[in-house]
Amino acid sequence: MGSAHKKGEIKMKKYTNEHEWVELDGDTATIGLSAYAINELGDITFVELPQIGQEATKGESIAFIESVKAASDIYAPLSGEVVEINEGLENAPELLNEDAQGTWIIKIKVSDVGEFDTLLDENAYSTYTSSL
C-alpha cells in the first residue's frame, strides 16, 4: 500500500469508464457516481442499494439507479465487501442531482487496494468523457 492512501490526507478521486468515482481511505473505498453520469441520467428518482455484507466484484453490478427517463446499473469499481450504504438516498435520491461528486452511495472494504491504481485519474477521466 502506497503512502498516498494514509488517513488524514486529501483524498484524490479516481474514476471508472462506467462513471463511478472512488476515494480510498485505508482499505475502505467510498463510491459515488460522477457529475457527468448524473447529468446524463437527469433527475434521479430511485436508488436500489445492496445489503451490507454483500460481496462486490470489480466490474459487476452492485447497485441500480433510475431517473425519470432512464435506468442504469452501478458497477463495483473494486472487489471487496459492502460495509456501508447511504440509506438517505432511498428517500432523497435527488441529493445526487444536487451534488454528485459529494454524495457517496456505498462503501466497500476492498480486498486488493492495488486495484485502485488501475482506475482513471481526474485528467484521464475528463479526457474520456469529452470523447463520448
Partner 1 sequence: MEKLQRTALFSKHKELNAKNVGFCGWEMPVQYEGVIKEHDACRNAAALFDISHMGEFFYEGDIVNSGINNATTTDFVKLPVGKCKYGFLLNEQGGVIDDLIVYKLDDTHLMFVVNAARIDVDFKQIKSHIKSGTFQNRSNQTSKIDIQGPKSKEILQTLVSFDLNELKFFGFKQTTLLDTQAIVSRTGYTGELGYELYVDNDTAPILWDKLIELGAVPAGLGARDVLRLEKGYSLYGHELDEQTTPAEAGIDMFVQYKSHDFTGKEALLKQKEEGISKVIIPFTTNSKRAPRNGFDIYQNDKKIGIVTSGTYAPSVGSGIGLGFVDLKLYDENAQLELRTSRGSIPIYKATLPFLK
Q: Which residues bind partner 1 (CB under 8 A)?
A: 42-43, 45-46, 48, 64, 66-69, 71, 93, 97
Of 30 and 93, CB closest to partner 1: 93
Query: What strands, in cross-sheet order, belong to the sheet with 55-56?
Result: 14-15, 20-25, 28-33, 106-110, 80-85, 55-56
Of 9 and 98, CB closest to partner 1: 98
Residue with cell 476492498: 110
Question: Closest distance between partner 1 and the C-beta of residue 94, in Å?
Answer: 8
Question: Closest distance between partner 1 and the C-beta of residue 46, in Å?
Answer: 4
CA pair distance 12, 25, nearest whole angstrom: 10
Of 43 and 84, CB closest to partner 1: 43
Residue with cell 435527488: 94
Count of CB atoms within 10 A of residue 95's CB?
Answer: 16
Question: Closest distance between partner 1 and the C-beta of residue 72, in Å?
Answer: 11
